[in-house]
């Protein structure tokens, strides 16, 4: 299985799940934000997703049977600054991948999409999002995910590919082994930032807005354990889906957790308070992003096995307390904005 972006957070966990499931992961990654040390299962081929020659050589050398496509740029905030680069990597990169797969008759592609394709389209605050909800991305990042989905869907319709776009909600946690975990630079995800604040490795957390129409006024998000995401990718490879079909499926636990609930869970797990202050709302932040996971359950026979926030936070904390990839990450994680929309 070719795993583009397999040296990154979700890709590394999926490579482990593939290995455990009897597949051989061929990680294809530029290491632009991923880590050599995260590739512990299968092999690493260094290369850029936009390099057709490199991709083709990796597919031929390992006789690749299917592709899982994680590689891409993921910071929502940065996508406003360099939208062209995001389109180039996330959309053009996906087209290059499809072009390289086609002559090799590789029949299945599983793609990392995102809840960012939905944006904030006026639904009720506690309303779960099904796949047919209006698509209204609120960032160039979300635009690129929707555009890449469209390219894949067209390839399925016109060329007989079987495509599965998995729309992740908030990926969180870490493998309980402590061998791999979340390592973004800068880190903008809520749970690692709250952990860094609790451990005194970063300044106080900023919570963006406490006046949303939610039970405690802070944003609701659906946190999905990264091991559950990984399992869904293996299920998507195995699912009985015909050539020419395209599925877009939400991956979430179906549970809305507020920012303050997460802060409290981190404080309990760490045994220390999480210093935080309330900041203003940011534009484009929906009050709530919670998945309706029913279609994924029906198509993949998958559901979140680790929906418990305490377990997610405990696994993330174990990883944060253990050895990091490379050097320096633990000393000063950048205190970027805690972004419940990230990715």
- Site for ligand NAD, rule CB under 6 A: 5, 7-11, 29-34, 48-50, 70-72, 74, 89, 93, 112, 114, 168, 170-171, 184, 343
User: DSSP labels for 217-281?
Assistant: SSPEE-EEEHHHHHHHHHHHHHS---TT-EEEEEES-S--EEHHHHHHHHHHHHTS---EEEEPP
To the nearest whole angstrom, how small is the minimum distance from the Cβ of residue 251 to ligand NAD?
9
In 3D, which of 239, 225, 235 has the Cα closest to residue 305? 225
Tokens 């996971």 identify what position? 293
In 3D, which of 57, 79, 59 has the Cα closest to residue 67? 59
Which of residues 170 and 258 has its CB atom nearest to ligand NAD in the complex? 170
Q: Which helix (DSSP H) or strand (DSSP E) does residue 101 occupy?
A: helix 93-101
109 DSSP β-pair partners:
67, 163
To the nearest whole angstrom, how small is the minimum distance from the Cβ of residue 124 to ligand NAD?
23
To the nearest whole angstrom, how small is the minimum distance from the Cβ of residue 112 to ligand NAD?
3
CA 160 to chain CA centroid, Å, is 26
Which of residues 13 and 108 has its CB atom nearest to ligand NAD in the complex? 13
Residue 179 C-beta-side C-alpha neighbours within 13 Å: 13
How many angstroms separate the CA atoms of 221 and 287, rounded?
A: 8
Which of residues 8 and 333 has its CB atom nearest to ligand NAD in the complex? 8
Q: Are 149 and 157 in contact (CB under 8 A)?
A: no
Tokens 């972004």 identify what position? 339
In 3D, which of 82, 83, 60, 68 has the Cα closest to residue 6? 68
How many angstroms separate the CA atoms of 108 and 42, rounded?
A: 19
Which of residues 161 and 229 has its CB atom nearest to ligand NAD in the complex? 229
Which of residues 54 and 217 has its CB atom nearest to ligand NAD in the complex? 54
To the nearest whole angstrom, how small is the minimum distance from the Cβ of residue 11 to ligand NAD?
5
To the nearest whole angstrom, how small is the minimum distance from the Cβ of residue 178 to ligand NAD?
17
To the nearest whole angstrom, how small is the minimum distance from the Cβ of residue 273 to ligand NAD?
25
DSSP secondary structure code for residue 90 in this structure: I
Which of residues 149 and 155 has its CB atom nearest to ligand NAD in the complex? 149
Active-site option among 9, 118, 141, 168:
141
In 3D, which of 197, 172, 221, 214 has the Cα closest to residue 319? 172
Whether 168 is catalytic: no
The catalytic residue positions are 141
């Amino acid at each position: 299985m070719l795993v583009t972006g397999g040296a990154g957070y979700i890709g590394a966990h999926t490579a482990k799940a593939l290995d455990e499931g009897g597949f051989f992961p061929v990680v294809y990654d530029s290491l632009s934000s991923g880590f050599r040390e995260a590739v512990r299962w299968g092999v690493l081929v260094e290369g850029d997703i936009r390099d057709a020659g490199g991709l083709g050589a990796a597919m031929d050398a390992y006789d690749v049977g299917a592709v899982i496509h994680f590689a891409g740029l993921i910071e929502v905030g940065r996508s406003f600054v360099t939208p062209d680069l995001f389109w180039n990597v996330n959309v053009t990169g996906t087209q290059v991948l499809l072009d390289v797969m086609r002559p090799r008759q590789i029949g299945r592609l599983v793609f990392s999409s995102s809840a960012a394709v939905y944006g904030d389209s006026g639904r009720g605050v506690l309303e779960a999002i099904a796949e047919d909800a209006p698509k209204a991305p609120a960032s160039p990042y979300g635009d690129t995910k929707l555009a890449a989905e469209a390219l894949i869907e067209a390839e399925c319709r016109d060329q007989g590919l079987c495509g599965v776009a998995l729309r992740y909600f908030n990926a969180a946690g870490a493998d309980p082994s402590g061998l791999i975990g979340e390592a973004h630079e800068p880190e903008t995800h809520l749970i690692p930032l709250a952990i860094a604040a609790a451990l005194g490795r970063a300044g106080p957390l900023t919570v963006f807005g406490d006046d949303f129409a939610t039970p405690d006024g802070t944003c609701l998000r659906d946190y999905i354990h990264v091991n559950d995401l990984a399992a869904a990718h293996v299920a998507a490879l195995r699912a009985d889906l015909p050539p020419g079909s395209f599925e877009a499926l939400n991956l979430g636990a179906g549970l809305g957790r507020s920012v303050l609930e997460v802060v409290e869970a981190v404080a309990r797990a760490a045994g220390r308070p999480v210093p935080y202050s309330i900041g203003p709302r940011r534009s484009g932040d929906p009050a709530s992003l919670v998945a309706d996971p029913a279609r994924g359950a029906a198509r993949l026979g998958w559901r979140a096995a680790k929906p418990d926030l305490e377990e997610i936070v405990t696994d993330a904390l174990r990883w944060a307390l253990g050895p990091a990839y490379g050097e320096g990450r633990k000393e000063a994680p950048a205190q970027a904005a805690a972004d419940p929309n990230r990715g």
